[in-house]
């Protein structure tokens, strides 16, 4: 049984049973719960759904676009057949000063990796994309906007802070891509991946996604075993990783469930 499926479907069931009805900027109402937390030991299992397909390669490509390429240029994703940002592209084919722009602006990956290598007990290791000065210049303000890092007994632990989480579509995608990020940074710093904690300030399901979520809940007793994550062991420089260096082995899953994205 996949631990991620168990925790995720418990969250879905809780929102459907106890969520608060909420109107929002998209015009499509949601049912929401505040301050939801899921935690995983990355040494025991890679957190990805098996009760429906998650586009793992797409998630990895976006993560590398943000943290390795440190880019806001949507054409770089489109060249890899990734179109998740097409709805938010500006006239310059960018997302403004969001996401990778902020990682590059403050050299955040290099600073994190250097600190992990030279002062792993530092309690100020974090990366943030929530730059108040630049928020008006972003086509979409970041949903996953901060990671905080800790080293304990040689294990690299990471807490992801997400201001807003579309539970059916965004959360599974974000969990898997940031779990990969922990593995990558652990490998290049000589650490072991440890705890990954996903904190969601506003976890919500849109009204037009409810039937899809009910279908997924019917698969709760029919999960597959979680797949294994493979990362090219030869790579020691974070900037050398490519999507081909990151794979899931034995990823078995139920079919996709089509649901709408609200923008």
Q: Tell me if 204 is assigned to some domain.
A: yes
5 is in an annotated binding site: no
pTM of the model: 0.97
Q: Tell me if 199 is assigned to some domain.
A: yes
The predicted structure's pLDDT at residue 60: 99
Alpha-carbon gap, residue 249 to 227, rounded angstroms: 6
Domain count, the chain: 1
Q: Tell me if 255 is assigned to some domain.
A: no
Residue 143 annotated to the active site: yes
The predicted structure's pLDDT at residue 151: 99
Q: Tell me if 28 is assigned to some domain.
A: yes
262 is in an annotated binding site: yes
Q: Tell me if 36 is assigned to some domain.
A: yes
Q: Tell me if 256 is assigned to some domain.
A: no
Q: Which domain holds residue 206?
A: 3-249
Please report, in tens digits, the pLDDT of each residue of the chain (263 residues total): 689 999 999 999 999 999 999 998 888 999 999 999 999 999 999 999 999 999 999 999 999 999 999 999 999 999 999 999 999 999 999 999 999 999 999 999 999 999 999 999 999 999 999 999 999 999 999 999 999 999 999 999 999 999 999 999 999 999 999 999 999 999 999 999 999 999 999 999 999 999 999 999 999 988 799 999 999 999 999 999 999 999 999 999 999 999 888 77
The predicted structure's pLDDT at residue 1: 64
CATH number, domain of 74, equals: 3.30.572.10
The predicted structure's pLDDT at residue 221: 86
The predicted structure's pLDDT at residue 128: 99
The predicted structure's pLDDT at residue 25: 86
Q: Tell me if 188 is assigned to some domain.
A: yes
The predicted structure's pLDDT at residue 262: 78
The predicted structure's pLDDT at residue 260: 80
97 is in an annotated binding site: no
Catalytic residue among 12, 33, 143, 181: 143
Q: Tell me if 258 is assigned to some domain.
A: no
The predicted structure's pLDDT at residue 237: 99
204 is in an annotated binding site: yes
């Amino acid at each position: 049984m996949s631990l991620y499926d168990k925790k995720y479907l418990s969250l879905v069931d809780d929102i459907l049973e106890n969520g608060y009805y909420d109107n929002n900027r998209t015009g499509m109402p949601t049912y929401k719960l505040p301050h939801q937390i899921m935690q995983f030991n990355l040494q025991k299992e890679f957190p990805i759904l098996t009760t429906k397909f998650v586009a793992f390669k797409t998630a990895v490509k976006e993560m590398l676009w943000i943290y390795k390429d440190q880019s806001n240029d949507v054409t770089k994703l489109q060249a890899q057949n990734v179109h998740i940002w097409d709805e938010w592209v500006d006239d310059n084919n960018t997302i403004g000063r969001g996401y990778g722009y902020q990682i590059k602006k403050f050299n955040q990956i290099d600073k994190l990796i250097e600190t992990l290598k030279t002062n792993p007990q530092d309690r100020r290791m974090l990366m943030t994309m929530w730059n108040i000065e630049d928020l008006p210049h972003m086509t979409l303000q970041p949903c996953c906007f901060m990671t905080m890092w800790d080293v304990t007994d040689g294990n690299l632990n990471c807490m992801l802070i997400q201001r807003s989480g579309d539970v059916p579509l965004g959360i599974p995608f974000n969990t898997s891509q940031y779990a990969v990020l922990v593995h990558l940074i652990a490998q290049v710093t000589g650490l072991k991946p440890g705890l990954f904690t996903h904190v969601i300030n506003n976890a919500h399901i849109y009204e037009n996604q409810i039937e899809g979520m009910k279908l997924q809940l019917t698969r709760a007793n029919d999960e597959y075993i979680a797949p294994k994550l493979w990362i090219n062991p030869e790579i020691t420089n974070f900037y050398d990783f490519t999507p081909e260096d990151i794979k899931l082995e034995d990823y078995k899953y139920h079919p996709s469930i089509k649901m709408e994205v609200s923008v």
